[in-house]
A and B are shown apart, each in its own frame.
Chain A
Amino acid sequence: MLHIKFSKQNKSVCEERGNHLSMDSMERIEPSIDPNTWIPLDEDTISKDVLSFCDEESYENRLIRSQEKTGLPEAVQTGIGYSNGTLIAPGVMDFQFMGGSMGSAVGEKITRLIEYATQKLLPLVLVCASGGARMQEGTVSLMQMAKISSALHYYQVQKKLLYISILTYPTTGGVTASFGMLGDIIIAESKAYIAFAGKRVIEETLGQKVPDGFQLAEALFENGLLDLIVPRILIKGVLSEISDLYSSVPYKKN
């Protein structure tokens, strides 16, 4: 039994098993950003129904319902702010909004954040939480993976700036196969479910059950896919330390 208030005080971490339950974007941003330093970006940017898509409900209606229900216009918040005195460019995805799915708006907001961080030479932090690409936008959603990766090429490879990705519960599909796994440093939360193909798809492909704990952060760590597993409560501090380490390099002759 979880007592919600206690759980939230404890940053939604189950004390007993250390499981980091999913957390909404506002709850993540609040404690991470120094007071009176937050400037949100692209607050009014939302996806259009580019395919005029309708399954059991029109995409347009689904968007509005999600916006009403979650109090978010889309599945990611981006902005700039100080964290322990360093100006950073964070983007925080929110699984509550249509399962954190990535469509045009998420793709555009993250791309712009990266472009802004490139221009202002800011460290980039992307907190990932996603069920994958947004099917209602079809192949346009898929291309957001390429669009963001293209911006990251300029930011990371050409400008040699620092990008830290934080993988949370759950990070799957097109987010894993694009910016999720491109961090210069990849941090995961304890027991986060991180996958390219989902458990059910794998079981269908192989005709057998997947072993317990298979796609959790700890397993990925054992397989050399992550740099760090950091408890939620320590993330802000760890990011500061990393930022310090990278800014104290004595041989940046670029």
Chain B
Amino acid sequence: MDFSEQVNELQRKYDEMRKELYGQLSPVQRLSVARHPHRPTFLEHILNITDKWLELHGDRAGCDDPAIVTGIGTIDGMSFMFIGHQKGRNTKENIYRNFAMPGPEGYRKALRMMRHAEHHGFPILTFVDTPGAYAGLHAEEHGQGEAIAKNLREMFGLRVPIITTVIGEGGSGGALGIGCCDKMLMLENSVYFVASPEACAAILWRTADAAPKATEAMKITAHELVELDVVDEVVKEPLGGAHGDPYSASQNLKEAIMRHMKDLLKLDPDSLLKHRKAKFRKIGAVQEGVKLDPRFKRKMKPRDAHLDGEQPPQMT
């Protein structure tokens, strides 16, 4: 008795349903994929896409933050500096990695590596996957804010190409601290937010139960961020999420990175810096050219200058 026809038909139906179910994930669903405990981590992608890999350690100032992993390696024979947030693959590892929440030492380690990369000619590939920078006493005392700020400014001066890929959670300033780049890619189920949906819900809706509403409202998914001109490309994941087929997800990542890198490598350093600056300069939505109701400006100091030769400011 041959049931192969019926089996094939059932298989076909199964594949179709799976496509339907996973084809159109909602932001809330994508958030849970982004936070899935088996979602491939930074190191897992590295080991899938590099031919050679050498982890480098330390901030040379008393610490080697386990939440950020740095190192050099090759993809298709070409050397890059790799920097990423590293989540644990189980609870024990997560505790060791501090759940990928770096302290100021992590950002300073990253900066040291980025300068090292610039010095030697390694383009920089950063991988974002963090719930946020660590909110602890030691972190505050040691200048968590300053460490992130320093990275934000310095990344705009690094004279090598920088590609950032959000592979999981992009937790606010903690993510941006290694995310000022020439090209920003996002795995399709990853998210990038200014505040976690839970925090946003607690503050704006005054109940953590509103987290799903906050998730929808804040537009944190890859496709939404492409629309907002923040992200340059969405990298496809295998159906159901990267955790279902990590190797394929890594290969998609590798292909996208190398494709963008090919273009960036053609640019001289000054052009690179100019484009990087322009990429972020254009982000923001303001209204102007419309004179506001004077009631809305009554507490602004009005012009009272009689400066000779000082005309209303014009930008050239």
A residues bordering B, Cβ < 8 Å? 24-26, 29-30, 33, 35-48, 50-51, 53-56, 67-68, 70-73, 77, 79-82, 104-105, 107-108, 111-112, 115-116, 119, 133, 135-147, 149-154, 156-158, 173-174, 176-182, 195-197, 201-202, 205-206, 210-211, 214-215, 219, 223-225
Contacts and interface: CB of A to CB of B under 8 A. Distances in A.
The residue among A41, A67, A139 with the most chain B CB atoms within 10 A of its own CB is A139
Contacts of A40: 300-303
A59 B295 CA distance: 19
A92 B225 CA distance: 30
24 contacts: A26-B299, A36-B305, A44-B289, A44-B291, A51-B218, A67-B296, A104-B284, A108-B284, A112-B315, A116-B313, A116-B315, A119-B316, A138-B220, A139-B220, A139-B225, A144-B283, A144-B284, A147-B280, A150-B280, A150-B281, A153-B156, A174-B194, A196-B148, A205-B136
B245 to A, nearest CB: 28
Contact of B172 (A44, A142, A214): A142
B285 A44 contact: no
A36 B306 contact: yes
Interface in B196-235: 199-200, 203-206, 210, 213-214, 217-220, 225, 228, 230
Given A71-B296, A82-B307, A177-B152, 14 more contacts: A33-B301, A73-B292, A73-B296, A119-B316, A135-B194, A138-B193, A140-B285, A146-B179, A146-B280, A157-B153, A178-B152, A179-B149, A182-B149, A202-B137
Contacts of A176: 145, 149
Contacts of B315: 112, 115-116, 119
A141 to B, nearest CB: 5
Given A73-B292, A150-B280, A178 B135 contact: no
Contacts of B179: 146
Interface string B137-161: 1011111111011101110110000
A198 B273 CA distance: 34
Interface in B265-283: 276-277, 280-281, 283
Q: Which 6 residue pairs spanning A and B have beta carbons closest together?
A: A197-B135, A71-B299, A176-B145, A104-B284, A149-B152, A196-B145
B194 A138 contact: yes
Contacts of B299: 24-26, 70-72
Contacts of B193: 138-139, 142
Contact of B296 (A24, A72, A182, A197): A72
B157 A157 contact: yes
A141 B251 CA distance: 32
Interface residues of B, number: 81
A59 to B, nearest CB: 9
A139 B298 CA distance: 31
A178 B304 contact: no
B291 A214 contact: no
Interface of B: 133-137, 139-146, 148-150, 152-154, 156-157, 170, 172-173, 176-177, 179-180, 192-195, 199-200, 203-206, 210, 213-214, 217-220, 225, 228, 230, 276-277, 280-281, 283-293, 295-307, 310, 312-313, 315-316
B149 A147 contact: no
B298 A177 contact: no
B275 to A, nearest CB: 11
Contacts of A138: 193-194, 217-220, 228
Contacts of B170: 139
